């Protein structure tokens, strides 16, 4: 009916019940609007319509199952870099990285952890003025540094 733009039945329905429906036409020759709505009535109508719509909608919340992990305690091991520097000054090491890996401060570490901690100390010591870098690389692929 609306698609074919035939609105006569809707017009008839609205004009028959013009007291109940606001902004509808009263049967007359001029077909003018006979009843206007107050602002309060319009607000009430909108609130009623919203209540009907919102009361029909129910949202179910999906709860996620979260696994709470216990916090693990880490034991922090402190490496005394000053002791390593004293040994390097005394021995005048030809390869600082290899000397660091053999030092007693890093004896608690093994394998990959040993190399990681030794490299951290190597980076810390590498900024000293007494350290001289050569163009060679050691077995670990790290540039050879000498204590000068």
Domain ranges of the chain: 8-54, 81-147
What is the percent of the chain where pLDDT is above 70?
66
pLDDT surpassing 70 at residue 23: no
143 CB contacts (<8 Å, ≥6 apart)?
Answer: 133, 134, 136, 137
User: Is residue 24 predicted with pLDDT exceeding 60?
Assistant: no
- Assign 25 a pLDDT band (cuts: 50, 70, 90): low
**Geometric angle at alpha carbon 64, from 60 and 67, rounded to 5°:** 160
* pLDDT per position as a tens digit, 98-147: 888 888 888 888 888 889 988 988 888 888 888 888 899 988 888 998 88
Q: What is the pLDDT of residues 7-20, one digit of tens each?
A: 677 666 656 655 55
Span 27-56, pLDDT tens digits: 566 666 555 666 676 677 767 776 776 665
Instruction: Count Cα atoms within 13 angstroms, Cβ side, for 107.
Output: 4
| Six token digits for residue 68 | 């709470």
pLDDT in tens, 66-111: 888 888 877 777 888 888 888 888 888 888 888 888 888 888 888 8
Distances (CA, A) of 12 to 16, 50, 55: 6, 28, 32
**Please, are residues 40 and 22 in contact by the beta-carbon 8 Å criterion?**
no
Q: Cα angle vertex 84, ends 79, 87, to 5°? A: 155
């Amino acid at each position: 009916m609306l698609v074919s733009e035939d609105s006569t039945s809707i017009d008839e329905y609205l004009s028959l019940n013009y007291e109940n429906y606001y902004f509808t036409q009263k049967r007359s020759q001029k077909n003018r609007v006979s009843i206007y709505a107050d602002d309060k009535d319009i607000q009430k109508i909108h609130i009623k319509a919203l209540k009907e719509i919102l009361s029909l909608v129910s949202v179910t919340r999906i709860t996620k199952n979260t696994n709470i992990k216990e916090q693990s305690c880490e034991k922090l091991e402190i490496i005394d870099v000053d002791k390593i520097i004293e040994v390097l000054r005394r021995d005048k090491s030809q390869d600082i990285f290899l000397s660091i890996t053999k030092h007693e401060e890093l004896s608690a570490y093994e394998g990959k952890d040993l190399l990681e901690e030794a490299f951290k100390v190597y980076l810390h010591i590498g900024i000293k003025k007494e350290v001289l870098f050569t163009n060679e690389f050691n077995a670990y692929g790290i540039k050879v540094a000498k204590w000068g």
